[in-house]
Amino acid sequence: MIGSTRSVCNAMTVDVEDYFQVSAFENCVDKSQWDVIPCRVEANVERILELFERKNIKATFFTLGWIAERYKSMVRGIVDQGHELASHGWEHVRVCQQDRQTFKADITATRHLLEDISGVPVLGYRAASYSISSGNLWALDCLADAGYQYSSSIVPIKHDLYGIPDAPRFAFRAAESRLLEIPITTIPIVGRNINCGGGGWFRLFPYRFTRWALSRVNKEDGEPCIFYFHPWEIDPEQPRVEGASGKAKFRHYLNLEKMYHRLERLTDDFHWGRVDEIFLANSKNGVRENQWGRHDAHNKTAY
C-alpha cells in the first residue's frame, strides 16, 4: 500500500493542438482555413510552461507537426525547459481515417520534423482522439517500424468516439514487444472503466472525484497514472466555432473557466513527471508482458 498521493510519480502530458483543430470540429472547420484562423496555442503553451516551472514539473508534450512547423521557437522552448517532446501526428487526423501507408507517412514525417527542430530524439506518440481501436491495431506495428518506443493512444473504456473496453488498464507490450502502449488512466466502477485521466472528463467530474480516483490507482493498484489536457482547455476566451453539434460544443466548452484552477490543485496534490522517464525506465525493469488480444478470432496482430 502506497501512502501519500505524492509518493508515486505520475505522467503529466499535454496534447499540443489549437482549439479549431479538434476532432469535434473537423466537419465545420476545413483544414484549408487553418492558416487564416488566428492561433492561440503559443500563448496557452507559454502559460502552461510558466505553471510547470512554478510547480517544478517536467511533462511530455505530444505536439502536432502542423503546429511545430509554424511555431519552432515554442517547440524549442518546451525542450529547453526540460520537458519531453513527443508526436501527436501531423494534422490531427484520426487513425481510423487513414490506411497503413498514409499513417506510416504521417508518423514518420512528424517524428523527423520534431527531431529536426528540437535536436532531441522523439520516442513517443499519441493518436488524435485516441483513435487506435480494435479495428486498427496494425497502427502499433507501424509505430514500432517507424522507430517509436512507446504510444499512449488507447483508452480502455466504452465511448461513442473511441476506446477499447477490454484493453488493459495499465502499460503493456505491443507489436511483438517492440512498443510499449500506455493507456490513459481509468478506474473500474460497477464493472465499467471510467476515464479519470484528464481532458473533458476532468472538466466534467468534480475535482474531488479525480483526486480520489488517481489516489486509488496509486495506492491500491500501485501504478503511476497518466494524465492529459490541451492548451485550449485553459483558454475560456477562445473564439466559438459555428456549426458544431450541441454535443460537440458541450464537450469542448464545458467548464473551461475552471480548468486552470483545477490544474493548479492537481499539480499540488500529486507528483508529476515525463512519460519517458516514468514508463520507459520501468519497462526495462519488467513491464507486464500482457497477452491481451492474442485470442482475436479475426487474426489481428497479437498484442
pLDDT band at 100 (very low <50, low <70, confident <90, very high): very high
Q: d(Cα 157, Cα 183) in Å, to the nearest integer?
A: 10
CB atoms under 10 Å from CB of 285, counted, come to 6
**What pLDDT score does 98 carry?**
97
Helix (H, G, I), strand (E, B) or coil at 243: coil
Of 47, 121, 122, 59, which Cα lies nearest the Cα of 89?
122
Q: How would you classify the pairing of strands 9-16 and 226-229?
A: parallel
pLDDT band at 293 (very low <50, low <70, confident <90, very high): very low
Are 12 and 272 spatial neighbours (Cβ–Cβ below 8 Å)? yes
Q: d(Cα 256, Cα 238) in Å, to the nearest integer?
A: 10
Predicted TM-score (pTM) of this structure? 0.93
Are 220 and 4 spatial neighbours (Cβ–Cβ below 8 Å)? no
pLDDT band at 7 (very low <50, low <70, confident <90, very high): confident
In the chain, the amino acid numbered 236 is P
Is 254 exposed, middle or buried (CB count within 10 Å of its CB: 0-12, 13-18, 19+)? Answer: middle
**What pLDDT score does 193 carry?**
95
- Biggest CA–CA distance in the chain, Å, is 53
Q: What is the pLDDT of residues 29-78, one digit of tens each?
A: 999 999 999 999 999 999 999 999 999 999 999 999 999 999 999 999 99
Are 179 and 219 spatial neighbours (Cβ–Cβ below 8 Å)? no
**Where is pLDDT greater, at 120 or 282?**
120
pLDDT band at 158 (very low <50, low <70, confident <90, very high): confident
Q: What is the pLDDT of residues 180-221, one digit of tens each?
A: 999 999 999 998 999 999 999 899 999 999 999 999 999 999
Of 238, 228, 200, 253, which Cα lies nearest the Cα of 44?
238
pLDDT band at 4 (very low <50, low <70, confident <90, very high): low
Are 223 and 183 spatial neighbours (Cβ–Cβ below 8 Å)? no
Q: d(Cα 95, Cα 132) in Å, to the nearest integer?
A: 6
**What pLDDT score does 292 carry?**
52
In the chain, the amino acid numbered 218 is N
Are 228 and 14 spatial neighbours (Cβ–Cβ below 8 Å)? yes
The chain-wide mean pLDDT, for the chain, equals 91
The structural domains of the chain, ordered by start, are 9-283 (3.20.20.370)
| Chain mean position to CA 53 | 20
**What pLDDT score does 159 carry?**
67
Q: d(Cα 200, Cα 251) in Å, to the nearest integer?
A: 6
pLDDT band at 281 (very low <50, low <70, confident <90, very high): confident
